[in-house]
Amino acid sequence: MARTLVTASAATALVAFATPAWASSTIPLKSAHQGSTAAAFQQECGDEKFVDKLPAHDGWHFVLPGSKKTAGDFERLSLTFSNGSATVTVAMPDDSDAYPDFLSATGNGQVKHAYVFTPAGWTLVGGTATISGEDDEFNLSHTCPGTVPSGSPSPSPSASASPSPSTSPSTSTSPSASTSPSTSTSPSTSESASPSGSSSTTPGTGGGGGGQDGDLPLTGVAVTTVALFGLALIGGGVALTVLRRRRDRITFTS
């Protein structure tokens, strides 16, 4: 009898502990809390879980109200947000997610709270939660909105405006390079041609027209006379030398 009672008690305890796991269910986010931004919801930035929140992020606090006695704890949440151009799903807990999130347990070990941080300005579209028991829905308790960065759109127009003045100087340099060399080279060639032509023609016409025709006969006569006179002297000298040698060769015999 003792063994039978111990076995029955152990089996009952195991069934009691395993029952919540078998009763896991998925519940939706309360419909009244869907389609809201953090700035438009009840704000409680004094929540100690929001102390380390970044200024450009919204803080969201979800809670499992436990309206039924069979309600258990948060096991997993899947939240859907809209960033204005696309829909983003945040699964929690998930360490690989780009958006910080965590489940928070109470003093008695029950996990009734969930926190997630998203870029400021996002809209909560909806979500589901897997709990270890049964309930009708879970709630968005309160938020702490961040500041939407306003400087991000301004750099794009300023960057696009900067190339426009940069192209204008390039067009302004082209006329300076095209006109200035053409005007500077044309006078230089005209000036260089005029002196060269004037220097070659001026001496030819001025010095050779009247003076050369009168000077060439005089110069020719002087050179010819001097040459002939020189040849005559040389010939006379040679003749005298030959006669002198012949004279010296004459010998008288007795």
Overall average pLDDT of the 230-248 stretch: 82
Overall average pLDDT of the 123-146 stretch: 95
The segment with the largest mean pLDDT, out of 3-12, 123-132, 208-217, 241-250, is 123-132
Strand positions, DSSP E, 93-161? 101-105, 111-119, 123-131, 139-144
pLDDT band for position 251 (cuts 50, 70, 90): low
Q: What per-residue confidence (pLDDT) applies to 66?
A: 82
Q: Which residues of 150-186 are buried (b: 16+ CB within 10 A; e: fewer)?
A: eeeeeeeeeeeeeeeeeeeeeeeeeeeeeeeeeeeee
Overall average pLDDT of the 24-29 stretch: 94
Q: What per-residue confidence (pLDDT) applies to 151?
A: 62
pTM of the model: 0.52
Half-sphere exposure of 114 (CA within 13 A, CB side): 27
pLDDT, one tens digit per residue, over 36-51 is 999 999 999 999 999 9
Window from 70-74, 78-82, 133-137, 188-192 with minimum mean pLDDT: 188-192
Q: What per-residue confidence (pLDDT) applies to 89?
A: 94
